[in-house]
Amino acid sequence: MEIIRTVAELEARTADLSRQGRSIGLVPTMGALHAGHMSLVDRARKENDIVVASVFVNPTQFNNPDDLRTYPRTEEADCALLSGGGVDIAFIPSVEEIYPEPDTRVFDLGPVAEVMEGAMRPGHFNGVAQIVSKLFAMTHPTRAYFGEKDFQQIAVIRRMVELEGFDLEIVPCPILREQDGLALSSRNVRLTPEQRAIAPAIAKTLLESKEWAKNHSVEQTKRFVTETVNSFPHMKVEYYEIVDGKTMQPVSDWSQTDEPVGCITVYCGDVRLIDNIRYQ
Ligand code: PAF
C-alpha cells in the first residue's frame, strides 16, 4: 500500500489512473478504523480497480472543540488495517495540507441539512461538504463509499454532489454491529465498561420499536423509543426523529412516506452515539 501525504501527489496519481481508464473507489474516513470501515473497503475492493482510503480528522466538521481534541487518532493501526484490507493508496494529509488557508465556502445544502444533526451541530454538515468535495476533486473517484450509520450525512453528500456537479456514484453501505447490536463507531472506545454494557439498549429498543410501530402512531413510536432509552442509567436521548429516508424531513403520520427511517442520537455518559432503523 502506498501512503500519500500531499494533495499534489494524490492528484497526480489519481489523474494518471483515470487516464488509464481504471475505476477508483474512494473510502473517506477519519481514522480510528474498525470493521465497519473495513466493510466499506471490502465493497470498494470488489467494485473498483483501485481503492483509495483517506484518513483525516477534519476540523471544520467539529462544532465542539472537545470532541475534536478527544477524537481517537490511531494512524499506525489504521495503516495496518487498510493495507491488510487491500487498499492501494492511503491518503493521510495534515490539516495544513488540506486547508493551507481557511475554507470559507458555504454550501446551500437545503432542508436535508437543517434537521437532526444539522440542527444540533451547527456548521457540521457544511464542514463535511467542504472536506468531501475536496476529496472528490483530488481523487476523481468513480464511486465513493459511506456507512449508513451516518444516515443523514449520505443525503447531505448527495446534495453537495448535485450542487458541485461531480460525476460519481455514492454507495451507501449497511451499518455493522457488535454481536450485542451496538452499532460500530470509533467513539465506542470511549465508553466505560459500565456504559459499554448498557449502550446496546439503543439498538435493542430501535428493533423493538419496529414491532411497536405496526400498531402505533409515529408520535407514540417516538415516545416509546425515547422513554425506553432514557430509562437506562447513563443514557440521555438528544433526539429521536422518524423521517423520510430521502428528504430527511420528519413525518407525523406513517402515510407521509414510503421510506420511514428512525434516527436517534443518545448521550451515553459524555459519549455521543448515533444509530438508525428502517421501519420497512
Ligand atoms: O463519516 C465520516 O467519518 C466523516 O464525516 C467523513 C465522511 C470521512 C468526512 O470527514
**Average pLDDT of every residue of the chain:** 97
Q: What is the pLDDT of residues 207-227, one digit of tens each?
A: 999 999 999 999 999 999 999
Q: Answer yes or no: is pLDDT of 115 > 90.
A: yes
Please give the grid coordinates belonging to residue 115. 434537521
- pLDDT value at position 118? 97
pLDDT digits (tens, 9 = 90+) for 73-98: 999 999 999 999 999 999 999 999 99
Pocket of ligand 1 (CB under 6 A): 28-30, 58, 61, 128, 131-132, 150, 153
C-alpha 128 to ligand 1 mean position (Å): 7
pLDDT at 154 (0 to 100): 98
CB burial string 161-190: b at 16+ within 10 A, e below: beeeebebebbbbebbbbeebbbbbbbbeb
Give DSSP secondary structure letters for 145-156: EEEGGGHHHHHH
Ligand 1 centre to CA of 36 (Å) is 13
Q: Which atom of ligand 1 is nearest to the CA of 132?
A: 9
Q: What are phi and psi of 215, to 5 degrees?
A: -130, 35
Active site residues: 37
For 3-35, how does the pLDDT look when each residue is reduced to its tens digit (9 = 90+)?
Answer: 999 999 999 999 999 999 999 999 999 999 999
The pLDDT tens digits for 262-279 are 999 999 999 999 999 999
Is the model's pLDDT at 280 over the cut of 90?
no
Q: Which of 26, 27, 30, 61 has most ligand 1 atoms within 8 Å of CB, for mutation? A: 30
pTM of the model: 0.97
Atom of ligand 1 nearest to the CA of 28: 8
CA of 29, closest atom in ligand 1: 8
What pLDDT score was predicted for residue 265? 98
Tens digit of each residue's pLDDT (9 = 90 or more) over 146-189: 999 999 999 999 999 999 999 999 999 999 999 999 999 999 99
